[in-house]
């Protein structure tokens, strides 16, 4: 019964309904780590991990009291990594990635041979999370080598998690593996491999532009843009069956700054679906500036709110941007009006202050528009 009650407390705490002191949560979680119910043990391990997620000012060192709580929680979690139930081991490994603490790296590396793929996958994320949460300044050689090993695991759920780690913290030592991973049979692994290589500034194999998965294709297109190779994108990309790929192509062309490539986007800007059309409008405005005035004027009158919204966003690149955006704040759809105001507020136009004041003083201003004005005035 005590275990069930404590589990309820953990749930309430996680939802922000019953805030409790860290010391109380620590004591309660530790007390049920030996429960006969695997679900209760897993929940307790998760709660101990959350104790490592306490917030403090980013420009200040972590308070000693928080460090102490994390380390006590980590010490309690270490034995749980050997729990007979995989669901509990997964929770313990995930939690250790949050708490950090002395000796934790060795514990995680030893657990990376667990027979359960879910545990091995959590090991990969835990090694990444320790760095993400600044528990360590960088990957040790041992941690990096383990991530490389996990990235070649027989199970896809392990591989993609290990490869993901290199999308957040690119490392040239992973380049060879990533070059192979873009051909992985698992689409998620391929996607993150493409992204990781892009973060390293490496060119992407053009064959990935015809990958069977639309998200991998979109990632490959984005990688071409990131590596300043968007001019090499083949015509088929701009008519890809996926709107996500076409939108990524518009973004990629925009990064070139080359007006002579703008013609590739005209068809998309005039008759594609809302997402791709909107992105093409912005790209064309970036590339051609005032030469796109007529197209954007038509788009600002489009019956679809999304197109009008993107047209106002793109109008930031026109000579008369301030006047156009000020008028856009009066659009009947508050979503469009808010976008116009946000775009105007990001400019240096002398019309910014009057527009903000008008919205803030108008008692009938809709909440979304008012919120945009408050953020901009902030």
Q: What is the CATH number of the domain that holds 218?
A: 1.25.10.10
Mean pLDDT, the chain, rounded, equals 92
C-alpha to C-alpha distances, 365 to 310, 337, 346, 357, 360, nearest whole angstrom = 22, 11, 20, 11, 7
Asked if 238 and 307 sit in the same domain, the reply is: yes
| Structure tokens that stand for 279 in this block | 């992105």
> Would you say residue 276 lies in a domain?
yes
Cβ neighbours of 228 (radius 10 Å): 14
Task: Name, in order, each residue with C-beta under 8 angstroms of 277's C-beta and a sequence gap of 6 or more.
Answer: 268, 269, 270, 271, 307, 310
Question: For the ranges 126-140, 175-189, 302-316, which has the lowest average pLDDT?
Answer: 126-140
Residue with tokens 């808010």: 338
User: Can you give the residue range of the structural domain that contains 341?
Assistant: 327-378
| Structure tokens that stand for 7 in this block | 């589990």
Asked if 250 and 285 sit in the same domain, the reply is: yes
| pLDDT at residue 3 tops 90 | no
pLDDT band at 171 (very low <50, low <70, confident <90, very high): very high
How many domains, the chain? 2
| pLDDT at residue 244 tops 50 | yes
Nearest Cα neighbor of 213 from 233, 170, 234, 183 is 183
> Would you say residue 49 lies in a domain?
no
> Would you say residue 275 lies in a domain?
yes
What one-character DSSP code corresponds to residue 62? Answer: P
Residue finishing a domain among 319, 342, 361 = 319
| Structure tokens that stand for 378 in this block | 């902030």
Residue 79: predicted pLDDT: 95
| Structure tokens that stand for 359 in this block | 């919205």
Asked if 272 and 339 sit in the same domain, the reply is: no
What are 346-355's contacts with CB under 8 Å, separation 24+? 346/316, 346/376, 347/316, 347/321, 347/322, 349/321, 349/322, 349/325, 350/322, 351/322, 351/323, 351/325, 351/326, 352/322, 352/376, 354/326, 355/325, 355/326, 355/329
Residue 23: predicted pLDDT: 81
Asked if 297 and 335 sit in the same domain, the reply is: no
What one-character DSSP code corresponds to residue 113? Answer: T
Nearest Cα neighbor of 249 from 272, 300, 305, 180 is 272
Asked if 356 and 334 sit in the same domain, the reply is: yes
Asked if 310 and 208 sit in the same domain, the reply is: yes
| pLDDT at residue 14 tops 60 | no
Residue 6: predicted pLDDT: 42
Using one digit for the tens of pLDDT, what is the confidence trace for 108-138?
Answer: 999 999 999 999 999 999 999 999 998 999 9
The alpha carbons of the chain give a radius of gyration, in whole angstroms, of 26
> Would you say residue 194 lies in a domain?
no
> Would you say residue 45 lies in a domain?
no
| Cβ atoms of 333 and 303 closer than 8 Å | no
> Would you say residue 192 lies in a domain?
no
Asked if 264 and 372 sit in the same domain, the reply is: no
| Structure tokens that stand for 225 in this block | 């843009």
> Would you say residue 254 lies in a domain?
yes
> Would you say residue 356 lies in a domain?
yes
Asked if 372 and 268 sit in the same domain, the reply is: no
pTM of the predicted model, to two decimals? 0.84
Residue finishing a domain among 275, 296, 319 = 319
Asked if 219 and 310 sit in the same domain, the reply is: yes
Asked if 270 and 373 sit in the same domain, the reply is: no
Asked if 348 and 289 sit in the same domain, the reply is: no
Residue finishing a domain among 280, 303, 319 = 319
pLDDT band at 11 (very low <50, low <70, confident <90, very high): very low
Asked if 300 and 342 sit in the same domain, the reply is: no
Cβ neighbours of 353 (radius 10 Å): 11
| pLDDT at residue 170 tops 60 | yes
């Amino acid at each position: 019964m005590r275990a069930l009650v404590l589990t309820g407390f953990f749930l309430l705490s996680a939802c922000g309904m019953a805030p409790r002191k860290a010391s109380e949560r620590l004591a309660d979680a530790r007390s049920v780590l030996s429960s006969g119910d695997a679900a209760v043990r897993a929940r307790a391990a998760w709660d101990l991990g959350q104790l490592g997620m306490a917030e403090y000012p980013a420009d200040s060192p972590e308070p000693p009291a928080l460090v102490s709580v994390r380390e006590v929680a980590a010490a309690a979690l270490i034995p749980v990594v050997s729990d007979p139930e995989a669901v509990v081991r997964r929770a313990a490994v995930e939690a250790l990635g949050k708490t950090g603490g002395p000796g934790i790296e060795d514990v995680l590396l030893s657990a990376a041979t667990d027979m359960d793929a879910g545990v091995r996958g959590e090991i990969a994320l835990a090694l990444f999370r320790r760095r993400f949460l600044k528990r360590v300044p960088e990957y040790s050689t041992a941690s990096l080598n383990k991530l490389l090993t996990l990235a070649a695991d027989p199970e896809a759920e392990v591989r993609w998690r290990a490869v993901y780690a290199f999308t957040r913290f690119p490392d040239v030592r992973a380049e060879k593996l990533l070059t192979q991973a873009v051909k992985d049979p698992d689409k998620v692994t391929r996607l993150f491999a493409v992204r990781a290589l892009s973060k390293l500034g490496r060119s992407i194999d053009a064959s990935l532009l015809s990958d069977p998965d639309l998200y991998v294709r979109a990632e490959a297109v984005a990688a071409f843009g990131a590596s300043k190779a968007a001019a090499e994108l083949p015509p088929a990309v701009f008519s890809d069956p996926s709107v996500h790929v076409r939108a990524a192509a518009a973004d990629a062309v925009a990064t070139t700054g080359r007006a002579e490539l703008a013609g590739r986007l005209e068809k998309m800007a005039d008759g594609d679906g809302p997402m791709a059309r909107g992105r093409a409008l912005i790209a064309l405005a970036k590339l051609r500036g005032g030469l796109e005035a007529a197209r954007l004027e038509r788009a600002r009158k489009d019956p679809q709110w999304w197109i009008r919204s993107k047209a106002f966003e793109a109008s930031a690149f026109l000579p008369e941007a301030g006047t156009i955006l000020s008028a856009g704040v009066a659009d009947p759809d508050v979503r469009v009006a808010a976008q116009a105001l946000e775009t105007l507020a990001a400019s240096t136009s002398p019309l910014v202050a009057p527009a903000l004041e008008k919205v803030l003083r108008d008692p009938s201003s809709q909440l979304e528009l008012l919120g945009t004005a408050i953020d901009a005035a902030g």
